[in-house]
Chains A and B, each alone.
Chain A
């Protein structure tokens, strides 16, 4: 379905010295620096897969998606989507793909949602009957009924995103790229959107490539994740494996009556790490979920201190990525040491 081989993208950026003087200087004497946004990545995605594409801001996610959709031409390497090279056959490729780009709407701003869909019907040349069926189904799953007559600019963010999602799937594309589809939404809308994506994937076998910072999105929608950082792929594999590998770290925040007096209970020594916590009354403990049970940590703490409140934090995708990154760096150093010895 999607194959990516040694894909690279470099940008040339104008290097500017700070201040007005720097700006003046760059007007006459330009120095360029090359930014390697994507540094030779490989992956293959089969029809019907749901893949989470994860990385911190500026990791190269959007650049990759732009190359997959054909908006950007790669510097080198190969991409094919459904047998087509996107940047060479952009318009042909467009028939097979749908996309939601975060906050950028694809609906027509001034006209009612229904009219927007009607225009999309003509743009994608969707047969009338298929269109009616699709709209009916979407209206039900996403609760669009009351929104269809309203111009897009009058919709709230959550309403807009639901309409947006329907627009991306309207022509029943083979692949859908979702770039942060749940950003800034409340829980109820997020749940509805996740359910919708899953249902479409099951019903039509739509391949989904999803970028998000919300771990919950990934857990509920994706069965595979690709983690990218600094333009290279750090991890590509099943969601369960990575959680086993990196997600056992738990953090519990305790609210103490007297933080000054705190000392790690001796039973927890060596297994639990105290994390810095800026709040005056709180301390945070981090530990390996496999080695120590949360209940044990909590009971030890309760027996020694007066606990006002506590809160168990889920492993965040950012922490997993960070962990991965550190591990990789350590691995490289380790290899260097081995090579030297």
Chain B
């Protein structure tokens, strides 16, 4: 574990050197993500200019959910973005073979191969949104609440990672599963709004099948009493761990299948 932490730091250092060398790319990347996020928040704002509440949720409460999703997603985007490229960058051109003959965990290597600058834009925007929403909520913030918020955000990030890892793993059988990963990832947009506004089927789906509900709504619900999900929200870290374990087990199966076909 200590070895991998140190190794990650070495990888990260060289990525940061490259980022600093291409400063303009870095800034454009960060700015474009921020712009994209602003656009979608602006849309919500416009809606709320005309109505007071959606299904009992005020603008700032929705903003809070949004903020947790954005921050959680930034963890995934900064550190685990390379999972997207598993098929076309690693398996198809045979680069994975190279990683397999190094004395490190191949998943670690794939992940450490990239540190994504755009994720920093996501992180900044997430923090700005949280900073805007939190003072407007009727909440008392103590150390315990802040710690809980951090745990929830990390859990949210891990669920994003686990879901992407799970679907990226299909690449071992089909060379490139990017379309599937994309399709699934787009479902996470649903989870940025209160799940209670959706039909029961969708709610169940986003809780038990593709658990994006735990990336924003449930963590936020912990802090908002009227949601009625305060206790259920405590399962979020558990859901994150279970998802990661399942996804990693699936990854290992995929790797094994890859070793016997070598496609």
Contacts and interface: CB of A to CB of B under 8 A. Distances in A.
Interface of A: 11-12, 63, 66, 69-73, 87, 90-92, 94-95, 97, 99, 101, 104-106, 108, 110-111, 115, 118-119, 122-125
B101 A95 contact: no
Nearest to B98: A106
Contacts of B95: 104
B98 to A, nearest CB: 5
Nearest to B261: A11
Interface string B223-263: 00000000000000000000000000000000010011110
B20 to A, nearest CB: 12
Given A72-B259, A73-B260, A123-B7, 12 more contacts: A66-B97, A69-B100, A72-B262, A90-B100, A91-B102, A94-B102, A94-B103, A104-B95, A115-B14, A118-B14, A122-B6, A123-B104
Given A111-B17, A119-B10, A66 B262 contact: yes
B94 A101 contact: yes
Contacts of B97: 66, 71, 101, 104
B261 A123 contact: no
A19 B94 CA distance: 27
Interface residues of B, number: 25
Nearest to B95: A104
B101 A119 contact: no
A170 to B, nearest CB: 12
Given A104-B93, A104-B98, A91 B103 contact: yes
Contacts of A95: 103
A104 B262 contact: no
Contact of B101 (A63, A69, A125): A69
A115 B256 CA distance: 31
Contacts of B101: 69-71, 90, 94, 97, 99
Contacts of A108: 14, 113
Q: Which 5 A-B pairs have the closest CB atoms?
A: A94-B103, A122-B10, A73-B259, A72-B262, A95-B103
A87 B259 CA distance: 8
Given A101-B97, A104-B94, A71 B10 contact: no
Contacts of A123: 7, 102-104
A101 B98 contact: yes
Contacts of A90: 100-101
B185 interface: no
Contacts of A119: 10-11, 14
Contacts of B10: 118-119, 122
B196 interface: no
A22 B234 CA distance: 54
Interface string B77-108: 00000000000000001110110111111000
Nearest to B262: A72
B64 to A, nearest CB: 38
A19 B239 CA distance: 48
Contacts of B102: 91, 94, 123-124
B37 to A, nearest CB: 27
Contacts of A110: 18
Contacts of B94: 101, 104
25 contacts: A11-B262, A12-B261, A69-B101, A71-B259, A72-B262, A73-B256, A73-B259, A90-B101, A91-B105, A92-B103, A99-B98, A99-B101, A101-B97, A101-B98, A104-B95, A104-B98, A105-B98, A115-B14, A115-B17, A119-B14, A122-B7, A123-B7, A124-B102, A125-B3, A125-B103
Contacts of A70: 100-101
Nearest to B11: A119
Nearest to B105: A91
Contacts of B113: 108
Contacts of A92: 103
Nearest to A93: B101
A144 B95 CA distance: 24
